[in-house]
Structure 1
Amino acid sequence: MTYADVLARAEADPDVVGVILTGSQARGTAGPHSDWDVLVVVRSHAPRWTTSLTPALDTAVLTVAELADVSDRWARYAYRGAVVLLDRGGIAELVHAQAALSPDEVDAFVRAELDGYINFVYRAAKSRRDGHHDLARLDEIEAGPWFLWTLFAIYGRVRPYNKYLRWELEHHPLPAPWTFERVTDLPSALFDDLERVARAHGYGDVYDAWDDLSLLRAGD
């Protein structure tokens, strides 16, 4: 089945509530080896609509309730830049809810992810201090995802997949200094800038809960 076939079938089926194009085709970054990623939203699962993965076309089938479920945070970036091709009621709003964080989610995400980021850069700093540069490197690697989740959550956004990080920051920039080149620096080198931003957004208490962060602050 081709991309056009899926759209035609969906248009003709009253049980299909929506069709969503995601991935590189939706974001305008498709290359010669890119496939089409299509989500078909149905009222309820039925045998005539099944998930199918082929080299040219990935078709995933989900219900409205499944589209409304934002608990899988890693899956949420798939909806960033998605194109709603068919909407028979509320699909665009659900896509938006997947691609952005609510105020309650922002607070929960930032607090959890910021604490994890501090933990790993602190471990890296202690390892460097003790001459264990190989272990420090591993902790820096682990700190990266915590940093990205923190940074994007502060601004109400879900963390981009690494593949789309440059696209995200070029098409939807964050305030200075958060360019692509900056956010891909070593996580420990971002500590001071992130602390300033996090404190400005009301998260100073996360830092203050730590006894001593002098190893991490450039001015200390």
Structure 2
Amino acid sequence: MNPFDDLVTRATADPGVRGLVLTGSYARGLETIHSDHDVIVVMDEESRGRWETRRSAVLDEIIYTVDGLADTSLLWQRYAFRGARVLLDRLDGRIAELVELQAEPTADEAREWGREALDGVVNQFYRAAKSRREGALVAARLDEMESVSWLLTTIFSLHGRLRPYNKYLRWELDNFPLGPPWDDLPERVAADPGSLFKVVCGLAERCGHRDVLDSWGDSLDVVRATYG
């Protein structure tokens, strides 16, 4: 029996296990010969001591409590639940509900993230524009590269979504399209982040965040003189 099947068998036999959730490449149908299984084992609090998180080249066995699965404060972890598969749910659908809660931000969450990330976008391109103005092209390029995280967070947040892990960016767009002009987003953001500045600002304005841009005053003109 392989380690994944062994885990499923052991978990199913333990009444303290409340749920099993498959994440990662296997959940999304993207597995290769190098992929491991990523499985979240959801325990009741009383049984948690019988299990511990274990990671190997073939299986990551990650222990959560039900309350831990309900905690959405750890933002970087939440995209792991996008496309996840619930293998066991002994709480009459509650495990599936909590997985969806992790994977889908609320409107207020997305709005807050989008505004914060938009401010970061302008900041990075303001730095880059000033460096280009001074002829410091390497520094400018580094700032443009650093803008990628802010750009992707802004774009997906303003669409009410979590920013995908880079590995799953193409999978996300293929399965949950944003539509034009974002179809070639992975290639475009990798090749020329600055080409996205104008279109992201347009998206932000349509989403009601013009005030974030206006707060930069004349500095925004410096950015637009370089990036449109």
1:217 aligns with 2:219: no
- For the Cα contact (< 8 Å) 2:48–2:65, is it kept in 1? no
* Higher mean C-alpha displacement, 20-29 vs 204-213: 204-213
Take 1:116 and 1:36, find their aligned partners in 2: how far apart are those partners? 35
* SS of alignment partner, residue 139 of structure 1: helix
Name the residue aligned to 2:5. 4
Q: Tell me if structure 1 keeps the 8 A contact 2:131–2:137.
A: yes
Q: How many residues align?
A: 220
Deviation larger for 135-144 or 46-55: 46-55
- Cα distance in 2 for residues equivalent to 1:138 and 1:46: 45
Residue 191 of structure 1 corresponds to: 197
- The aligned residue for residue 29 of structure 1 is 30
**What are the residue-to-residue correspondences of 1:52-67 with 2, within 5 Å?**
52-67=54-69
1:91 aligns with 2:95: yes
Alpha-carbon separation, structure 1, partners of 2:174 and 2:30: 12
Q: Which of the numbers 138, 158, 161 marks the counterpart of 2:162?
A: 158
How far apart are the structure 1 equivalents of 2:51 and 2:207? 45
Name the structure 2 match of 1:134. 138
| Matched residue type, 2:211 | D
Residue in structure 2 matching 1:144, options 131, 148, 165: 148
Runs of 4+ in 1 over 3 A off after TM superposition: 182-185
- Cα separation, 2, equivalents of 1:97 and 1:185: 34
Structure 2 residues without counterparts, runs of 5 or longer: none
Aligned position for 1:181: 187
Give the match's secondary structure for 1:46.
helix
Question: 1:151 & 1:184 partners in 2: Cα distance?
Answer: 15
Q: Provide the aligned C-alpha RMSD in A.
A: 1.6
Structure with bigger helix share is 2
- TM value normalised by structure 1: 0.94
Structure 1 unmatched ranges of 5 or more:
none
Quote the Cα distance in structure 1 between the aligned partners of 2:101 and 2:187: 29
- Correspondent of 1:46 among 21, 45, 48: 48
2:216 and 2:133 map into 1 onto residues whose CA distance is: 18
Deviations 1:26-64 (A, max 9, x none): 011111111111000001153321111111111001101
Checking the alignment, whether the CA contact within 8 Å between 2:148 and 2:189 is kept in structure 1 is: no
Give the Cα separation in 2 of the matches to 1:119 and 1:3: 45
Is 1:105 the counterpart of 2:109? The answer is yes
In the alignment, the residues of structure 2 paired with residue 73 and residue 46 of structure 1 have an alpha-carbon distance, to the nearest angstrom, of 23
Question: What is the one-letter code of the residue matched to 1:66?
Answer: G
Structure 1 contact 188–216 (Cα < 8 Å) conserved: no
Separation in 1 of the partners of 2:7 and 2:144?
Answer: 44
Q: In percent, how many aligned pairs have the same letter? A: 50
2:217 match: secondary structure: coil
